[in-house]
Amino acid sequence: MYQFVTGPLLWLSFSVFLIGVIFHIVQYIKGLDWKQDRVAYTQHIPFGLKGALRSVLFWLFPYGTRSWRNNPVFTCFIFVFHIGLVITPIFLQAHNLILRERWGFSLFTISDFYADILTLAVIVSAVFLIIRRIALEHVRFITSAYDYLLIAISAAPFITGMLAYHQVSNYRFWIVAHVLSGEIMLIAIPFTKLSHFVLFFMSRAQIGMDFGIKRGGMKKNLSW
């Protein structure tokens, strides 16, 4: 089982993830229409590019925009969650050992101590996000079971990873559960709202181009 989930199934998961992500990018760009969207995407390129970059970068920095600053606690947890979600799996020592063993190369790694901290941070942040969805009326009202499921899918690899690494009871069970939950997340990315993994950048760039080219950006930079 371990050989299967870290072999063919892992290849399949990464392939689905990669092809799915590329598909979303291509579909998004192909679906842009200057006439329908009413944005002159291919004209005024310096303004479009500047608008897109400013839009992505201001929102990529914690507290970089008024909306992030208006919601300081949420912003803190959302950034911790996403930073942990991205950095931990890529730079974990155990993952890079497997990478070298199976695919012949590895990346820079972080110590297990920091990996533990990041993992705990992701789990705590996930709990916060769930509590927030329940506690705030306007968020609860628009939240569906699907939203909770996505938090679960995102946090599961970290919970199972923590349990496997610290060899709580049945190591074999938890390591397989860990790998499977990671693969579920990779496969879920192209098929669910987790596609915001890449569509965040497409959407942010697009609205940046809209404001940058058409809605006043050629007169004055919008302050996000």
Partner 1 sequence: MPEGKLCNKKPVETLGELQALLADKSGKQYYEEMKNLDVDHEALWETIRKTCRSRMKTWLKICSHCGLCAESCFLYLANNRDPKQVPSYKIQSTLGEIIRRKGKVDNDFMRMVMDTAWSKCTNCNRCAMYCPFGIDTGVMNGYLRGLCFSQGFVPWEMKIGAGMHRIYQAQMDVTSEDWVDSCQWMVEENEEEWPGLEIPIDKEGTDIMYTVNAREPKHYPEDIAEAAILFHIAGENWTVPSVGWEETSLAMFAGDWAACKLQVDTIYAAMKRLSPKKMVVTECGHAYRATVIEGPYWAGYETGEPPVESFHYVEWVADALESGKLKLDPSKKIKEPVTYQDSCNYIRNGGLSDHARIIMSHIAEDFREMKPCREHNFCCGGGGGFNGIGKYRKERNIALTVKRDQILATGAKFVIAPCHNCWDAIRDMEEIYKIGIRWSFLKPLLLKMVIVPEHLKA
Residues that bind partner 1 (CB under 8 A): 27-40, 42-44, 55, 59, 66-68, 70-71, 74, 78, 133, 136-144, 147, 193, 195-196, 199-200, 202-204, 206-208, 210, 213-220, 222-224
How many whole angstroms separate alpha carbon 35 and alpha carbon 41? 10
* Residue among 109 and 203 whose Cβ is closer to partner 1: 203
Q: Which two tokens stand for residue 20?
A: 């799915």
The distance of closest approach from Cβ of residue 40 to partner 1 in the complex, given in angstroms and rounded to an integer, is 3
How many whole angstroms separate alpha carbon 175 and alpha carbon 194? 24
How many whole angstroms separate alpha carbon 216 and alpha carbon 218? 5
The distance of closest approach from Cβ of residue 61 to partner 1 in the complex, given in angstroms and rounded to an integer, is 12
Q: Assign 110 to helix, strand or coil.
A: strand
The CA dihedral of 190, 136, 203, 205, to the nearest 10 degrees, is: -130
- N-to-C CA span, the chain: 50
* Residue among 52 and 162 whose Cβ is closer to partner 1: 52
* Residue among 12 and 86 whose Cβ is closer to partner 1: 86
The CA dihedral of 182, 17, 6, 113, to the nearest 10 degrees, is: -40
The distance of closest approach from Cβ of residue 157 to partner 1 in the complex, given in angstroms and rounded to an integer, is 19
Dmax (CA) of the chain: 63
CA atoms within 13 A on the CB side of 197: 22
The distance of closest approach from Cβ of residue 126 to partner 1 in the complex, given in angstroms and rounded to an integer, is 13
The distance of closest approach from Cβ of residue 45 to partner 1 in the complex, given in angstroms and rounded to an integer, is 12
* Residue among 182 and 208 whose Cβ is closer to partner 1: 208
The distance of closest approach from Cβ of residue 155 to partner 1 in the complex, given in angstroms and rounded to an integer, is 15
* Residue among 6 and 133 whose Cβ is closer to partner 1: 133
How many whole angstroms separate alpha carbon 42 and alpha carbon 48? 8
* Residue among 133 and 184 whose Cβ is closer to partner 1: 133
